[in-house]
Amino acid sequence: MIYLYIYLLMFCSISMFILALLFMYLKLSLFFYWKILNLNSFFIEFIFYIDWISLIFLSTVSLISSFVLMYSIFYMMEDKTLDRFFYLVLMFIMSMFLMILSPNIVSILVGWDGLGLVSYALIIYYQNWKSYSSGMVTVLLNRLGDVGILMMISLLMIKGSWNLMFYFNEMSMVIMLLVFSACTKSAQLPFSVWLPLAMAAPTPVSSLVHSSTLVTAGVYLMIRFNFFLEDEISDFLMFISSLTMFMSGLVANFETDLKKIIALSTLSQLGLMMSILSFGEVNLGFFHLIMHALFKSLLFMCSGIIIHLMMNNQDIRLMGGLINFYPYLSIIFLFASMSLCGLPFLSGFYSKDLIMEMFLMSKMNLISLMVIFISTMFTISYSVRLIYLVYLSNLNELNYFFLKNENNFMMMSMLILFMLSIFGGFMFINFFFYSEKIIILKFLEKNLIFLICFFGILLGYFYSQKEMNFSLIQNIFFSKMFGLEFILNNFYEGVMKQSFYLYKIDKGFFEFLQIFSFKINLIMVYNFFSYFIFSLNKILLYFIFLILVIVIFWFL
- Tell whether pTM > 0.85: no
Closest CA to 292 of 333, 342, 225, 360: 342
Average pLDDT, stretch 7-23?
Answer: 87
Q: Dihedral (C-alpha) 52, 56, 58, 61: value to the nearest 10 degrees?
A: -170
Mean pLDDT of the 162-188 span: 77
- Strands 30-39 and 42-50, sheet pairing: antiparallel
Question: What's the rounded mean pLDDT across residues 129-152?
Answer: 82
**Predicted confidence (pLDDT) per residue in 322-368, tens digit:** 787 788 888 888 888 888 888 888 888 888 888 888 888 877 778 88
| pLDDT number for residue 213 | 79
Is the distance from CB of 267 to CB of 216 less than 8 angstroms?
A: no
Which string of b and e fits 428-437 if b means at least 16 CB within 10 Å? Answer: bbeebbeeee
Q: What DSSP assignment string belongs to 315-368?
A: BGGG---GGGT-HHHHHHHHHHHHHHHT-TTSHHHHHHHHHHHHHHHS---HHH
**What is the DSSP code string of 143-195?**
HHHHHHHHHHHHHHTTTT--BTTTS-TT-HHHHHHHHHHHHHHTT-TTSTTHH
Average pLDDT estimate for 188-204: 81
pLDDT at 199: 81
The total of other beta-carbon atoms located within 10 Å of residue 396's CB is 16
Q: CA 300 to CA 198: how far, in whole Å?
A: 13
Angle (nearest 5°) at CA 143 between 248 and 81: 85
How much helix, strand and coil, in percent to the nearest 5, is found in the chain? Answer: 75, 5, 20
The answer to whether 56 touches 294, Cβ cutoff 8 Å, is: no
pLDDT tens for 81-123 read: 788 888 888 888 888 888 888 888 888 888 888 888 888 888 8
Asked whether 175 and 233 are in contact (CB, 8 A), the reply is yes
- Which of 173, 50, 182, 51 has its CA nearest to residue 112? 182
Q: Measure the CA–CA gap between 356 and 362, rounded to whole angstroms.
A: 10
Question: Between the CA of residue 74 and those of 77, 78, 79, 211, 410, what are the distances in Å?
Answer: 5, 8, 10, 21, 7
Q: Are 425 and 291 in contact (CB under 8 A)?
A: yes
How much is the pLDDT for 424? 84
Average pLDDT over residues 42-56: 82
Residue 492's CB is within 10 A of a number of other CB atoms, namely: 14
CB burial of residue 256 (10 Å; 0-12, 13-18, 19+): middle
Backbone angles phi, psi at 39, to 5 degrees: -115, 100
pLDDT class for 489, splitting at 50, 70, 90? low
Angstrom CA distances, 112 to 139, 148, 153, 372, stand at 12, 12, 13, 29
- CA-nearest of 263, 260, 267 to 244 is 267
Count the neighbouring beta carbons within 10 Å of the beta carbon of residue 554: 12
Q: Is the pLDDT of residue 383 over 70?
A: yes
Mean pLDDT (whole number) for 520-538? 51
Q: Assign residue 187 a region (left: φ > 0; alpha: ψ between -120 and 50; beta: otherwise).
A: left
Q: pLDDT per residue over 241-255, tens digit each?
A: 888 888 888 888 888
Q: What is the DSSP code (8-state) at residue 390?
A: I
The Cα-based distances of 50 to 13, 19, 231, 260 in angstroms read 15, 10, 28, 35
pLDDT of residue 555: 56
Domain residue limits, the chain:
1-29, 65-467, 482-553
Instruction: Compute the chain's Rg from CA coordinates.
Output: 24
